[in-house]
Amino acid sequence: MLHSKRRQKMKNIKKIYSTTLVFLILGFAGCMDLSETIYSELSKDNFYNNKLEVMQGVLRPFTHMQAWLAPTGQNGYYYHGEMAADQVAWPQKGRHGYDGGDHIRLHNHEWTIDENRMRGAWSLMWEGLGYVNAILEDVEGLDIEKAGMTEEERQQIIAEIKVMRAYHYLRIMDMWGNVPIITTVGKPLNPPTAPRSEVFEFVRAELEENVSMLEPLSQELVGRVSKASGYAMLSELYLNAEVWTGTPMWDKSIEYADKVINGEGGSLTGAMALDQDILGPFKNNNENSPENIFQFAFSRKGGFSFGWGGFYVGYGNTSKIWDVTYSGNNAFVVIPSAFDAYKENDLRKKEWFLFGPQFEYQTDKPIIATEEYVGQPLVYVNSIRRNSEGATGEGSMVEGEENSGARFNKYRSGTKEDPNYQENDYIIYRLTELYFNKAEALMRKNGGQATAEVVSLINQSKKRAFSEADWADEAYTPGTLTLDELLAERGREFVFEGKRRTDLIRFGEFTTGTWWDHEPDGDPNKTLFPIPSIQINSNPNLVQNPGY
């Protein structure tokens, strides 16, 4: 009797326990789900439903590219190319602009493997390449039926993406030379370094295979890669082939320059031609300039305007010079020797630079300085030295003042009342460059001697910068157009266009030339930047460039 009682009691307790257990398990089972809900981002599974959406992915690399390619204030390709070259500098101006010595080291070619800004450039440019690879993967795996597209459309888009990838590699190769060749996202880990010649070959093959599939340039293609821009890339690639691979390929450079010049790649205006207005390619309606080939399509109305203020505009007091609403950091100035490279009668000197006393837009009311010359009129001078302290001589990178150096005025936004205010596109290639490419290639084939054809090509460009009266004295002849002169003229024509370092390297001047405060160290390894140490640390298969 007692026995069974106990048993029953045990049973009862068990019942209670098991009820509790069931109760708890119920609780657990319902709520062990740890999946995340995405609200403010997109899942690939429910995107790419039509061509518009696919193109929204295809164009992502462009919105990123402007950050490192255009002078928009970031530490990318543009910053490093120009700061290491002989036309523009960011000197210390009193208490401003020391910035840890970053710009000084670039100017002196004393950069280290730990440069923060170079780390930024590496990161920005490879991020761009990553966007290209990401969308390429997505388009290659695209359900075209779901997206309502044809296979032909897909193949054309793939060509467009591959040309973009080649362009990224062109610029990466220009900076660092020997880098991994990566065509997928996130894999392989620890990709190995490929020598520059292999990178070159990869770029060459990708361009040659895909450019022909691109559409010709037209107004519909503003801001995108077209046949014309692909040809321009090829012309640039072959022009630099001797530097990048050791083998000159002048004929190929000429071949592709000709394709552009002849309009085989299309045109924005129906016929490819030099813009006779020297400000034309840079105006706030420059998508209508007949010579523009490849541009980053900025638009204030569209929601994203080209902001060169960070690098090229003074503090708030200078906005009134153009009657605009933006201002900048008073950062980049023109190196005195670069400004002196223009003759006084060169219209480009007058139109593309700010110099001398500054006034409020279309008035004679002076702009007032705020730093060394606080309270006094602002006058930009062609020297970088402590004039306020009575300094004389050449000055230096640490001796700038608020008014040191001539300033950038090549792109102009229009006044804030202008209907096209800040609609300027950033120009990556324009026809004039192909003229120069072809001229240079012809000259080099000809033992460095100019021919009539060469002179004609360069004079067509140069003529725009002089009055009819002056032209007779300024026109080149086969005798006056030497290779040195070609480099100088190329500098004058493409000042501020982010190409100077590449040109100096090709002409052998980058590590041997002297300009203003810069003394050459003759180290040929300086033609490549070092791979940032943080990347070397994280990828054991990366090989540092020689000399670092």
Partner 1 sequence: MKKVILLHVLAMSKRILYIFLIQCLSMSLLFASNGSAQIKPIDKVQIDLKLSNSFVEDAFSKIETQTGYSFVYTNKELKNLPMVNINSNSSLYDILVDFSKQTGLQFKQINKNIHVRKVDDLRPQTPVSIVENPQETVSGVVVDQTNLPLPGVSVLEKGTTNGTITDLDGKFTLNVESEESVLILSFIGMETQELTVGVRRMLEITLKDDTKSLDEVVVIGYGTQKRREITSSVSKVDEKSFNQGGVRSPIDLIQGKVAGLSITRPNGNNPNSGTAIQMRGVTPLTGNLSPLIVIDGIPGGSLDLLQQNDIASFEVLKDGSAAAIYGTRGNNGVILITTKKGTAGEARFDYSNYFSTDVVAMRPNNLSATQFRGLIDQGLISSNNDLGADTDLYEELLNKENLSQYHTLAASGGTINSNYRASFYLNDAEGIAKENSRRQYGARINFNQKGINGRLQMSSNLAVNLNKANLLGGGGGDFEQAVQRNPTAPIRNPDGTFVETEAFNNYNPLSRLQNRINERNQQTISGDIRLTFEILEGLNIGAFGARQQNGFNDRQYRSLKDFEQRPNSSYQGTGYARKYNELSWTDILESTVNFKRIVGDHSFDVLGGYSYQYSTFENFAVDNSGFTTDSFLDWNLGSGSAINNTQLPRPGMSSFKEDNTLIALFGRVSYTYKEKIFAQAIFRREGSSKFGDNNKWGNFPAASVGWDLSKEGFLNNTKVDNLKVRLGFGVTGNQGIPNYQSLVTLSTGGVYPQNKVFYQTYGPSRNPNPDLKWEKKQEWNLGFDFSFYKSRLSGSLDIYNRETVDLLNGYTAQQPPFVRSSIYTNVGGIRNRGVELMLSGIAVQRDDFNYSITFTGNVQNNTISDLSNDFYATDFLEYGFLPSPGNLGAAIRVTEGGKVGNFYGKEFSRFDESGKWLFKKADGTEGYAGDMKPEDLKILGNGVPKYMASLSNSIQYKNWDLTVFFRGKFGFKILNTQDLYFGNQAWLPNNLLESAITKNADLKDNPQYSDYYLENGSFLKLDNVTVGYSFNFMGKTIKNLRLYATGRNLLTMTGYSGLDPELQDTGFTTGIDDRGFYPRTNTYTVGLNVTF
Q: Which of residues 12-41 bind partner 1 (CB under 8 A)?
A: 12-13, 16, 20, 23-24, 26-28, 30-41
What lies within 8 Å, CB to CB, of 187 at 6+ separation is none
Report in angstroms how near the CB of residue 131 gets to partner 1 at its nearest.
5
Binding window for partner 1 (CB under 8 A); candidates: 70-78, 117-125, 273-281, 464-472? 117-125
User: How many residues make contact with partner 1 (CB under 8 A)?
Assistant: 108
Rounded to a whole number of angstroms, the CA Rg of the chain reads: 29
Nearest to 107 by CA among 469, 460, 514: 514
Annotate each residue in 514-533 with x if it binds partner 1 (CB under 8 A) or - if it does not, as one string: -------------------x
In the bound state with partner 1, the residue whose beta carbon lies nearer, of 193 and 502, is: 193
Angstrom distance (rounded) from CA 456 to CA 478: 9
Q: Provide the H-helix boundaries in 430-476.
A: 431-445, 452-462, 468-474
CB-facing half-sphere around the CA of 430: CA atoms within 13 A: 27
Q: Is 184 in the site for partner 1 (CB under 8 A)?
A: yes
Binding window for partner 1 (CB under 8 A); candidates: 268-276, 377-385, 447-455, 534-542? 534-542
Binding window for partner 1 (CB under 8 A); candidates: 59-67, 252-260, 460-468, 490-498? 59-67
Q: Tell me the DSSP string of 6-31.
A: HHHHHHHHHHHHHHHHHHHHHHHHHT
Q: Residue 71: is the preceding peptide bond cis (ω within 30°)?
A: no
Q: Is 448 in the site for partner 1 (CB under 8 A)?
A: no
Task: State phi, psi for 389 to the nearest 5 degrees.
Answer: -105, 15
Report in angstroms how near the CB of residue 514 gets to partner 1 at its nearest.
19
Question: In this structure, which amino acid lies at residue 41?
Answer: E
Scan residues 149-168 and list those touching partner 1 (CB under 8 A): none
Report in angstroms how near the CB of residue 39 gets to partner 1 at its nearest.
4
In the bound state with partner 1, the residue whose beta carbon lies nearer, of 266 and 491, is: 266
Binding window for partner 1 (CB under 8 A); candidates: 77-85, 336-344, 368-376, 377-385? 368-376
Angstrom distance (rounded) from CA 282 to CA 292: 9
Are the C-beta atoms of residues 526 and 513 closer than 8 Å to each other? no
SS3 of 270-312: the string is CCCCCCCCCCHHHCCCHHHCCCEEEEECCECCCCECCCCHHHH
Annotate each residue in 68-107 with x if it binds partner 1 (CB under 8 A) or - if it does not, as one string: ------------------------x-xxxxxxxx--x---
Tokens of 482: 């030497």
Q: Is 195 in the site for partner 1 (CB under 8 A)?
A: no
Nearest to 74 by CA among 519, 426, 442, 398: 426
Scan residues 392-431 and list those touching partner 1 (CB under 8 A): 397-398, 416-417, 421
Annotate each residue in 206-245 with x if it binds partner 1 (CB under 8 A) or - if it does not, as one string: -------------xx-xx----------------------
In the bound state with partner 1, the residue whose beta carbon lies nearer, of 240 and 317, is: 317
Q: Is 143 in the site for partner 1 (CB under 8 A)?
A: no
Report in angstroms how near the CB of residue 5 gets to partner 1 at its nearest.
5
Q: Is 49 in the site for partner 1 (CB under 8 A)?
A: no
In the bound state with partner 1, the residue whose beta carbon lies nearer, of 15 and 262, is: 15
Q: How far is CA 272 from the centre of its chain?
A: 24
547 vs 85, 113, 352, 525, 539, CA distance in Å? 20, 11, 38, 6, 19
Scan residues 266-305 and list those touching partner 1 (CB under 8 A): 297, 299-304
Report in angstroms how near the CB of residue 130 gets to partner 1 at its nearest.
3
Binding window for partner 1 (CB under 8 A); candidates: 3-11, 237-245, 438-446, 499-507? 3-11
Nearest to 296 by CA among 222, 229, 219: 222
Scan residues 300-319 and list those touching partner 1 (CB under 8 A): 300-304, 315, 317, 319
